[in-house]
């Protein structure tokens, strides 16, 4: 074995993903050989994207696409535009997509892409040119049956429209299934935008049924009021819970009698901050996490529940909307306190599941109504929640619920690899 690390091996996010893989492998009794197969992506492509900027100068951006595992189907996962993107982060995220898609029971492997760029510093023409060139550069390894990208941090349906168009020009036909979360006019689903938050609310609803006698009248705090948090809050309120606190990066608001979520959404859209909502007390994000509520939904960023604040957390259920909001140390502390943590790979899979619904209907040349798509998501998320919860209670209750989710997800991938003769 060489002592020189590969370009992704020293990345902290990648190291965390490998640690989780090894812990799950120990529970499943997987050999070191299988771990070695699973810890590397099947393919990692780096592409160079030189752009002539509006000022006439050429700037070179670097992008990656990591295809982690295809045992269960074509690679699937978003593309993020962020100045801190590294190959290691992209590989780790692609590994997590393998587990998330496996757990969701959809016929996809895991992939992820990224460009190291601050997209806010680009004009719309520069952004379009960079997006098109990136997709052209990875076009030989993507495709409706091969690898199906989608949005992630700082990419959106417009980005997907450019990808779709670029790819369709290269192959010579409208390749509807090459990306998901497209604009509605290009075969996307109206409900894709709400689907992750809706799925988080579904996961919280099912957890509430199992743990605290249902949602009716139960109190909820939601950290983050973006794409995920706002719709989780909206549906939990619609289904009878009392959302007493929400926050964004500028701070939080709290009213023990409940917030009017439609009104908070209006205020957030108009002023870009929930703290401008009138009928509530201002609180910090730190205070929000420690409120005496029944359900806590961290839906902003990673690593917000740590060994420092975990002992003070009072919620009975934590439903992870964000990716990685709870550190492993906090996971154990909360588990010992009897708090149920519905893990990110289960709770926030609504987006990718809706992407699968979009993709499969694109391929059949037909569209679903909004109601049909949401009902479909409801039945898939509900079924998956109970499968993980029951397995956790039956076999793995000494660990946090996350362990059961990882065991089910990784076991399914390993079984597919065995059947295919890969291991």
How many residues sit close enough to ligand NAD to count as binding (CB under 6 A)? 20
Q: Determine which residue in the list 109, 149, 351, 400 makes contact with ligand NAD, applying CB under 6 A.
A: 351
> Which segment (17-25, 158-166, 294-302, 356-364) binds ligand NAD by CB under 6 A?
294-302
Question: Pick the catalytic residue: 15, 19, 57, 112?
Answer: 112
> Which segment (117-125, 210-218, 321-329, 373-381) binds ligand NAD by CB under 6 A?
321-329
- Output the six-digit token pair for 97: 């997509």
- Output the six-digit token pair for 305: 């529940």
- Report how far apart, in Å, the C-alpha atoms of 221 and of each of 242, 313, 393 are: 9, 12, 26
- 300 belongs to the binding site for ligand NAD (CB under 6 A): yes
- Report how far apart, in Å, the C-alpha atoms of 338 and of each of 183, 203, 256, 312 are: 43, 18, 24, 13
Asked about 169 being catalytic, the answer comes back as no
CB contact set of 261 (below 8 Å; sequence gap of 6+)? 230, 233, 234, 237, 243, 246
Q: Taking the complex as a whole, how short is the minimal distance between the CB of residue 277 and ligand NAD, in angstroms?
A: 13
- 321 belongs to the binding site for ligand NAD (CB under 6 A): yes
- 284 belongs to the binding site for ligand NAD (CB under 6 A): no
Q: Taking the complex as a whole, how short is the minimal distance between the CB of residue 48 and ligand NAD, in angstroms?
A: 27
- Report how far apart, in Å, the C-alpha atoms of 210 and of each of 205, 274, 280, 416 are: 9, 31, 31, 31
Site for ligand NAD in 108-137 (CB under 6 A): none
Site for ligand NAD in 206-225 (CB under 6 A): 223-225
- 247 belongs to the binding site for ligand NAD (CB under 6 A): yes
DSSP-derived 3-state class of residue 66: strand
Across 25-61, b (16+ Cβ under 10 Å) vs e yields bebeebeeebbebbbbbbebbebebebeeeeeeeeeb
- 226 belongs to the binding site for ligand NAD (CB under 6 A): yes
Q: Determine which residue in the list 10, 123, 190, 249 makes contact with ligand NAD, applying CB under 6 A.
A: 249
- 180 belongs to the binding site for ligand NAD (CB under 6 A): no
> Which segment (104-112, 227-235, 329-337, 366-374) binds ligand NAD by CB under 6 A?
227-235
CB contact set of 200 (below 8 Å; sequence gap of 6+)? 228, 231, 232, 297, 299, 319, 321, 347, 348, 350
Interacting residues with ligand NAD (CB under 6 A):
196, 223-229, 247-249, 285, 299-301, 321-323, 348, 351
Q: State the catalytic residues.
A: 112
């Amino acid at each position: 074995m060489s002592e020189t690390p590969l370009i992704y091996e020293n990345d902290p996010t990648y190291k965390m993903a490998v640690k989780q893989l090894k812990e799950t492998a120990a529970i499943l009794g997987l050999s070191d050989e299988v771990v070695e197969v699973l810890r590397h992506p099947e393919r990692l492509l780096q592409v160079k994207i030189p752009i002539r900027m509006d000022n006439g100068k050429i700037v070179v951006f670097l992008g990656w696409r990591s295809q982690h595992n295809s045992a269960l189907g074509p690679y699937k996962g978003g593309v993020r535009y962020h100045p801190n993107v590294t190959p290691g982060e992209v590989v780790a995220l692609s590994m997590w997509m393998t587990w998330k898609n496996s757990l969701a029971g959809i016929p996809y492997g895991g992939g992820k892409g990224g460009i190291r760029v601050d997209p806010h510093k680009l004009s719309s023409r520069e952004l379009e040119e960079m997006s098109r060139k990136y997709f052209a550069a990875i076009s030989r390894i993507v495709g409706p049956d091969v690898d199906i990208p989608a949005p992630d941090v700082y990419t959106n349906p417009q980005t997907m429209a450019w990808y779709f168009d670029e790819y369709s020009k290269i192959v010579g036909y409208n390749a509807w299934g090459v990306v998901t979360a497209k604009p509605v006019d290009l075969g996307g689903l109206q409900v894709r935008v709400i689907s992750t938050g809706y799925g988080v609310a579904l996961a919280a609803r099912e957890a509430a049924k199992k743990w605290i006698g249902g949602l009716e009248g139960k109190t909820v705090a939601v950290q983050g009021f973006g794409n995920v948090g706002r719709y989780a809050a909206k549906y939990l309120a619609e289904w009878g819970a009392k959302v007493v606190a929400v926050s964004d990066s500028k701070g939080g608001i709290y009213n023990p009698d409940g917030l009017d979520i439609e009104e908070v959404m209006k205020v957030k859209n108009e002023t870009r901050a929930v703290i401008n909502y009138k009928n509530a007390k201002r609180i910090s994000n730190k205070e929000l996490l420690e409120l005496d509520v029944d359900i806590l939904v961290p839906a902003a960023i990673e690593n917000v529940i740590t060994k420092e604040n975990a002992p003070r957390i009072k919620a009975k259920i934590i439903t992870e909307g964000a990716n990685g909001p709870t550190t492993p140390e906090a996971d154990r502390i909360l588990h010992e306190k009897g708090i149920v943590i519905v893990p990110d790979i289960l709770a926030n899979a609504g987006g990718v599941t809706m992407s699968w619904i979009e993709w499969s209907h694109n391929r059949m040349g037909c569209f679903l109504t909004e109601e049909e798509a949401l009902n479909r998501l409801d039945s898939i998320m509900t079924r998956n929640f109970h499968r993980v919860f029951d397995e956790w209670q039956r076999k793995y209750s000494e660990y946090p619920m996350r362990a059961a989710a990882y065991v089910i997800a990784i076991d399914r991938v390993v079984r597919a690899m065995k059947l295919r003769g890969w291991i």
